[in-house]
Structure 1
Amino acid sequence: MAYRDQGMADAEFKKIERCPGGLISFNNFLSTSLDKVVSMHFAREALSNPKAVGILFKMTIGPTASSAPFAKIPSQESCFGESEKEVLFSMHTVFRLGGIEKMEDGLWQVNLTLVDNAADPRLQQLTAYMRQQVTGSTGWHQLAKVLLKTGNYRDAEEIYQTLIEQAKSNNAEKDLPHLYSQLACLKNRKGPYHEALELYQKSLDIRRKSLPENHPELATTYNNIRLVHDKMGEYSKALDFYQKDLDISLKFLSPTHPDLAAIYSNIGSVHDKIGKYSKALEFHEKCFKVSLKSLSPTHPNVAGFHSNIGMVFENIGEFSKAHQSYTKSLEIYRGSLFENHPTLAYTYNRVGELHESMEEPEKALEYYDKGLKIQEKCLSFSHPNLATTIYNMGSIKTTEGECQKALDLHNRGLKIREKSFLANHPDIARSYHAMASVQEKMGEHSKALSCAEQAVRISENSLGDEHPHVQLYRNTLNRLWKNV
């Protein structure tokens, strides 16, 4: 048994509290003591900082931990003298989080168990996944990919642009498809979407010169193009590219491959957006059957699957099931992502929308505000996810009767959407309809009528006559005509 004192920021301590059974690693050589009293003395010193939490790590070293590098330091060589009984762990030693106990004097004891890298299957699975995610032919390629994964889009874009210019000047066309795809992926997350489409098309054009039409690399590119069409509201195009991707993937992937789960989930999400909810649930169920066989329950992709199926439950009015799905998604994301990651902001927004549907405006606004603070830090000022959060906050202000604030928010969101999307995107119709509803409450019937007409025209072109949003917008328009 070894002990380690630590002063920790409250936000970091809360992350640990949310991750029982998770993994933790220290980014330096870790000096510990076999003497609990010595470590508690240092832990109490951390209490002098009002923003810090005093932690005593209690570390259990199992008899089978053969591959974990640690050593007992002889007393004459210890930095702390003979009383320290020092044990030194190597950099990046991994521990599994156990229970957390409140101690006297405001200290917390966090129980850790040393993980044997060679014997822990969950750690082996995680390590293999991380190696797969951070591949690259050079250190610059690997760094750019890490920056992209962690949401540092500005730095990642600068590196990718430099690598593309280098590949062009060196006539290394074989490197361009991957670099174009990575930069397109960044644009797909950060915006603008039309730039993402252009980059994916460049990648596809080069790959088609040397690959057959049923090659897996083309399937990946088809899927990526589909993602952009999906976000741009071009759902029929998105489904066409999905089908191409699925047809190729079924030939080359095993029935339990995680990429297959992602395809099923994404097809389900498109059906959800066009109002085919039973079809959406069918594909999400296929996704979960595959993912449970191939991924850990705490894998970030599984968090996304929970969020997607939560949207369907929310849309069909099963709020309890939706809340369970979103809560599970947040638990996984909080344990695996940085606190300012844009995916976390997106999930906060989804939870806020659910609370709004459940007529809990204060809770909804709380989650919207959390999401907006993250988005303003890491997204471009014209990103559509920012517009979604602003739109949702406008809806709350409408409910609370603050019509002018609501109208200002919806107008701001509309301007962002018009910069990000094509003119017939369904979200632009949503903004016009929201503005019409506020203007109707304010007695500005002619302005409301104009916005409602725009909402109906755009939604009919993008969603079709049977979509519930189209019916809602038509009802609003008919009511306004009667009042005029």
Structure 2
Amino acid sequence: MDGNEQDSAVDLKEIFERLLAIQTEDLDDDIIVAFTLTRMGITLMEQGNLDEALEKLNRALAIRMEKLGEHNDTSETYAAIGCVFAMQGNFEKAEEMFREALDIKRKLLPNDHYDLITLYQGLTYSLKKQGKYSAATKIYKLQLGAILQMHGEYHPDVVVAYNGIAQLLFLLNRLDDALQLLDRGIEICNHLQQLEGFDIAILETALNNQARALKVQGNLVAATEAFNRVLVIQMETLGEMHPKTAETYEQLGQAYVRQEMVERAIEAYAKAVKIRRKELGNDHRNVKELVFAVEVLELEKNVAALNEQGLAMKAEGDLEKAEQLFQEALELYLGTSNFCTTMAVVLENISDVRVDMGLLEDAIVVSAEALRIRRRMHGDDDADTKRRIKVHRSLLKRLLENRS
């Protein structure tokens, strides 16, 4: 708040205080006093003077409860108190106040009346902040009903509600239900985009939520497509160096990694690093983690290339050259703690080559190390781990047979 804003805020507060003094002394009408106290409380809340706001609003509530009872004005004051508690982080009390406000309003209006939308929003927010996702979802659906009654389905507020409910369903691990709402929201956005003044950020949010849900589900191709659509919008509306753009690149990089699309993952992470460095600096934890991710992927790429060359040499019968290439791939891992599946694969390839070279004991030693890594990474129930256990046991059996 600059100097002029501070002066105007003080002036407004003084005006309310003078008005309140006049009303208290000269008028025998507590209803007017309660109105002034409520307006003053809301103004103080908007200025960030929350304790003062709460004091004024509680005074107004006491008057309105006594003089009006369950009245629309009483509901208004309850709602304002709920907003103050929410701003203070006291979401349990905020929930209580919003419920009181809603209980009054619902006796006066149907559940889907547009006047209830703001109260539904406040209650949903308070419930979500407390982790009461099921209860928040139920209230958000009532809010959606009021929005639909007011606007019909083809309206931006409906898509915003679909997004909000989908986020709650996501937190409840109801991914199919969340995706159903998001798909419908995106469909509506595609229609609304043709209209002048449509806020493209609503579509961006829906696509982002859709992409994350698909990624968690393991539908990585569809998730990648959605993240790329998000990026197109963000590049147009936010620019290349915006933090939200960096976040999308990170999500996209993760999706590419899980699809073993290493080159694209490196490219996505590198763009995220560029943005985060400018935003946070080189020493920030997030930047260091991203840089490390790129380094690991570069390592994986180089190892994969050597591994493929080694397999080609093995297929041609050049076992010494094949082992040399596999050893070069393995050496890239030395000095790192990156014991991953690819390292196990390289060790298995070395073991297989040594079997073909007649070096059975050496092959068993290397096979055992590969198996140890697989068990550590994936456990004994993993299909590839089971396969290598059989291979390893077969090698041990051959060794015993050779010695007998």
Give the TM-score normalised by the residue count of structure 1.
0.38
Give the TM-score normalised by the residue count of structure 2.
0.44
| Structure showing the higher strand proportion among its residues | 1
Q: Which has the larger radius of gyration?
A: 2
